[in-house]
Amino acid sequence: MKLTLKVWRQKNKADQGGFVTYPIDGISKDMSFLEMMDVLNEELTEKGDDPIHFDHDCREGICGMCSLYINGKPHGPQQTTTCQLHMRSFTDGDTITIEPWRAKAFPVVKDLVVDRSAFDRIIQAGGYVSVNTGGVPDANEIPIPKKIADEAFDAATCIGCGACVAACKNASAMLFTSAKISQLALLPQGQVERKERAEKMIAQMDAEGFGACTNTGACAAECPKGISLSNIARMNREYFSAVVSSENM
């Protein structure tokens, strides 16, 4: 395959940045998108140019590290992570536009790498459970209905990649935050900090500068893990009931 890549290049946070066009040839349909980027970077390195910086880690679709806004969509044309996107999704001669996630809360570090530690700070604000010290508890000591366990697990499959923020017209982090709140609110272990969690995580989400939700559904449509909008409704219930019943003034 012969392709033209229009890639966002930015030296550092302070740099203005801009698009640079790279022609690339000899790409196999069976390569993953990131492998295609590797080929390009090898060429750039051989020429003595600075390779394009992009986030990646497991390349198995489970870590949430890869990002990239490809041809107007987070993770490109398929509802998957960029590492699981293959070049067969494109046709020979295509021009592919590659941009970083765009959000005030996700500042560009270099080229296509953005700083997603705002997500970590939302988790730190309340995305944890209290665990008492002592002996190891018996298995099945806390009964959890299969249906609830499944629902909590569905929410927990969120890999925190930030595609929801990237897809949202408001750069809102509500799908992410709601998945993290839901996962713990559904389980008995999460009850101790339940109210405080909803209040604190949402306060942190606002403080990070993410936008509000307009219920467009773009986040769920683009989420590589299929996190459902019902989590956002649950987060709203959790938050509204927490603020009227918690003792935090």
Partner 1 sequence: MSWVTKTLSSTLGRKLIMALTGLFLILFLTGHVSGNMLLFKGDGGEAFNKYAQFMTTNPAVKILSYLTYISVIAHVIYSILLTRKNKSARPVGYAESKASTNSAWSSRNMGVLGTIILIFLVVHMQGFWAKMHWGDMPMVTYEGETYKDLYQIVQFAFQNEILVAGYVIAMGFLSFHLSHGFASAFQTLGLNHVKYSPAIELIGRIYCIVVPVLFASMPLYIYFTS
**Which residues here bind partner 1, judged by CB under 8 A?**
6, 8, 19, 69, 71-73, 97, 99, 102-105, 167, 169-172, 202-203, 205-206, 209-218, 221-222, 229-230, 232-237, 239-240, 243, 248-249
For residue 58, CA distances in Å to 62, 66, 70, 85, 214 come to 7, 9, 19, 14, 33
Q: Shortest CA distance to 87 belongs to which of 38, 7, 33, 37?
A: 33
The residue type of 220 is A
Tokens 């918690």 label which residue? 246
**CB nearer to partner 1: pick between 151 and 193:** 151
**CB nearer to partner 1: pick between 43 and 228:** 228
* CA 82/CA 75 separation, integer angstroms: 5
Shortest reach from residue 114's CB to partner 1, in Å: 11
Tokens 């893990």 label which residue? 225
Tokens 């942190």 label which residue? 204
**SS3 label, residue 109:** strand
Contacts 24+ apart (CB under 8 A), 42-47: none
Shortest reach from residue 145's CB to partner 1, in Å: 16
Shortest reach from residue 15's CB to partner 1, in Å: 12
* CA 170/CA 14 separation, integer angstroms: 23
**CB nearer to partner 1: pick between 8 and 33:** 8
**CB nearer to partner 1: pick between 58 and 233:** 233
Shortest reach from residue 137's CB to partner 1, in Å: 32
**CB nearer to partner 1: pick between 157 and 236:** 236
**CB nearer to partner 1: pick between 43 and 236:** 236
Shortest reach from residue 63's CB to partner 1, in Å: 23
Shortest reach from residue 126's CB to partner 1, in Å: 14
Give me 125's structure tokens. 């604000």
